[in-house]
Amino acid sequence: MQYRTFGKLGWKVSALGFGAMRLPVVGNDQANVDKPEAIRMIRYAIDHGVNYLDTGYPYHNGQSERIVGMALKDGYRQKMRLATKLPARMVEKAEDFDRFFNEQIERLQVDKLDFYLLHGLRAQSWSKVRDLGILRWAEKKMAEGCFDHLGFSFHDNYEAFKTIIDSYDNWTLAQIQYNYVDVDNQAGRRGVEYAAGKGLAIVVMEPIRGGRLSRKPPEKVAAAWGDALKKRSQAEWALSWVWNQPEVSLALSGMSTMQQVVENVAVAERSSSGMLDAEELALIDRVREAYKGSNPIPCTGCNYCQPCPSGVAIPRIFEMYNEAMVYGEARRSQSTYQGQGPQGMKAEERADQCTECGTCVEACPQKIDVPERLKETHAFLGPKTQS
């Protein structure tokens, strides 16, 4: 296993981290984790040098933390560092901080955590927990020895990311969605550089875009990959692009099968910063553009249409629609659009709130007929009415 510096701690973390969000399940029931197989996978990873394990309160309907706790018995807890997350979106009052934390410690069956993260922060959820005193609470917990370091995971734009980092001097890590397609989305490359410049460890989630970058690519993308002189699997290209960047501390992979664990561990063993040459990086740039060219709605996420006078989250809606069409993941996009899950969209942000004022059409550099495409996306992503 290759190891990298973990921000300002100086600790060496494995290039690959185990994300316990996509453990194997029985019968497509996310709450029914295949416990023996999940434990076998986690322990295989640790036995082969993985020393960072990430879970979260809502994963597998609360079962992920329990399975992780089981996997870390028999001396495995001492071989790695453990991170879990406070479900910031679910917090309603300051008392919830202790309630969630105590429940998580009980689920994990551990005395303390190495890293505790505020989960999935956006500008609104950050403001809420900040005003409820989350930083005072965290400082007290760290002083009491309940966990060693505070960090956050993030799903918003660069400006919100920078604001959160600048709000507290003692963040240890920032966990962001980052891959060769999402270079400019959310925190993006600018966020990586800014956080690293502040001494934070950069923990990358979704380096393979939830597994989508490992699948058979669309025709335009496959044609671009045909120019590759060195042959790698789709997953290895995606992971290598992340590891190529010295600012990144580790790439988390949410692995669902033992085969994925074995393959990703093997790829991590030959990883390094600067592992891709200029020609390979240029190839990945062409692949990224090919992915964009495969989108049925040519939205680039520039956000010129924002804020919408009616509050419609236009770029996010178009992204969900494009994801569904390019990757064949209608159900996932539909559930998120309909408000399900931790990243579920609010009703007031959906496409049916459009009043067709035309402000977005004037602002769009891609000349998209936004109101018409919003009708199309809502018909596809929204709840189906009974006739």
Per the confidence metrics, is the pTM higher than 0.95?
A: no
pLDDT tens, position by position, 321-330? 988 888 777 8
Whether residue 237 has pLDDT greater than 50: yes
In the numeric block, the tokens 């690293």 are attached to: 196
Q: Which two tokens stand for residue 117?
A: 């993260």
Q: Give the gyration radius of the chain's Cα atoms.
A: 21
pLDDT confidence band for 365 (50 / 70 / 90)? low
Q: Which two tokens stand for residue 179?
A: 């891959």
Where do the structural domains in the chain lie, given as residue ranges? Answer: 3-285, 314-381
Q: Percentage of the chain surpassing pLDDT 90? A: 67
> Residue 176 has what pLDDT?
93
pLDDT tens, position by position, 266-300? 999 999 999 999 999 999 999 998 887 777 887 76
Amino acid at the residue 302? C
- Helix, coil or strand: residue 357: coil
pLDDT tens, position by position, 16-43? 999 998 899 888 777 889 999 999 999 9
DSSP 235-293: HHHHHHHHHTSTTEEEEEE---SHHHHHHHHHHHHT--TT-S-HHHHHHHHHHHHHHHH
> Residue 387 has what pLDDT?
45
Distance CA 300, CA 168 (A): 32
Average pLDDT over every residue of 104-117 = 96
Strands 173-177 and 3-5: unpaired
> Residue 139 has what pLDDT?
97
Average pLDDT over every residue of 232-244 = 94
Estimate to the nearest angstrom the gap between the alpha carbon of 39 and the chain centroid.
Answer: 22
pLDDT confidence band for 385 (50 / 70 / 90)? low
Distance CA 305, CA 1 (A): 45
Q: What is the average pLDDT score of the chain? A: 91
CATH code for the domain defined by 3-285: 3.20.20.100
| Residue 347 DSSP code | G
Beta-bridged to residue 154, according to DSSP, are 121, 176
